[in-house]
Amino acid sequence: SLNLITSKHDSNIKILKNNINEILGENLKDFEYLKQIDSIHEGKHHRIYKITTSNDKILVLRIPYKLDTELYIKRKISSEVATMEFLNLNLKNKINIPKVLAYSNNYENKIGLPFILMEYKSGDLLMRQWNPLISGEINEENSKKELLKVINPIADINDQLNSIIFNKFGSIYFKDDLPNGFESKEIDIIDNGKVEGEFVIGPTVEKAYFRNKELIKEEDLIKYLGPWNSNEPLKMIKDLIQLELENFKLKLS
């Protein structure tokens, strides 16, 4: 089960105590300082740093670029962390997902940036094995074998993710992170047993609902973000269309 607490030193930093105990050990006196920080990747949405602790434990720090509104970054980090933990708890031994140790979804913390601090998983990037220009026809045995080295792992992950069918459309949050104004309802998984942890389905963090919507006030935006009942899939599209129309009116005015 999940033990989500706020830092004693900064109320805007949330700590997943169970994961810290598992990855770093319960005696944190061994981690009084960080020995080294290396920039290891600059992706489409985040800067990625590898952190080495004083006793050679390795962690990953992800810091989002400031490409989106603070509201979107806040919602996205909250949902991403909750989704990772949800999958770790409910798809045990099926998907190898890094565990989150701590996170903040806003700029009002001692670091001054939103971030996710997580477990380091060693291994090679699939993108480095991808070679679409491999010689030979795509159906030839050697060509197919090389391409499937990358395609099969991705397909397997998607197969596991699609094995969970929810009773609502939206995004996953911890109960404590559910935005104000949204009703907290337990997650029901259809034909898939019990949900572990304290999670809820809340408003979507799908980018289309936030992209170029800076003119819309938050209290107006939330009217169109769901969550939607699973028997109303078209309501998602109608709300997005209505949101785009409202945004267009504001831009014209």
What is the structure's pLDDT at 225?
Answer: 94
The half-sphere exposure of 197 on its side-chain side, counting CA atoms within 13 A, is 26
Task: Report whether pLDDT(47) > 80.
Answer: yes
Task: Report whether pLDDT(9) > 50.
Answer: yes
Task: Report whether pLDDT(195) > 60.
Answer: no
CB count within 10 Å of CB 85 equals 24
d(CA 174, CA 115): 17
Taking the CA atoms of 138, 139, 145 and 150 in sequence, report the sign of the dihedral they define: positive
pLDDT band at 2 (very low <50, low <70, confident <90, very high): very low
Q: Determine contact, residues 63/115, Cβ cutoff 8 Å.
A: yes
d(CA 62, CA 111): 12
What is the structure's pLDDT at 178?
Answer: 85
Task: Report whether pLDDT(64) > 50.
Answer: yes
Radius of gyration of the chain (CA): 21
Q: Determine contact, residues 197/1, Cβ cutoff 8 Å.
A: yes
pLDDT, one tens digit per residue, over 231-249 is: 888 999 999 999 999 999 9
179-185: long-range contacts at Cβ-Cβ below 8 A with a sequence spacing of 24 or more? Answer: 179/75, 179/203, 179/222, 181/219, 181/222, 182/222, 182/227
pLDDT band at 53 (very low <50, low <70, confident <90, very high): confident
pTM: 0.85
What is the structure's pLDDT at 76?
Answer: 95
d(CA 50, CA 182): 36
Task: Report whether pLDDT(6) > 50.
Answer: yes
What is the structure's pLDDT at 60?
Answer: 92
Distance of CA 234 to the CA centre of its chain: 25
pLDDT, one tens digit per residue, over 16-41 is: 988 888 888 766 655 556 778 888 87
pLDDT, one tens digit per residue, over 132-191 is: 777 777 677 778 888 888 889 899 999 988 888 888 899 999 988 888 777 666 665 555
- Which is nearest to 76 in space by CA: 225, 251, 231, 233? 225
Residue with tokens 């909750």, as numbered in its chain: 82
pLDDT, one tens digit per residue, over 84-122 is: 999 888 887 788 889 999 999 999 988 899 999 999 988
Which one is predicted more confidently, 182 or 49? 49
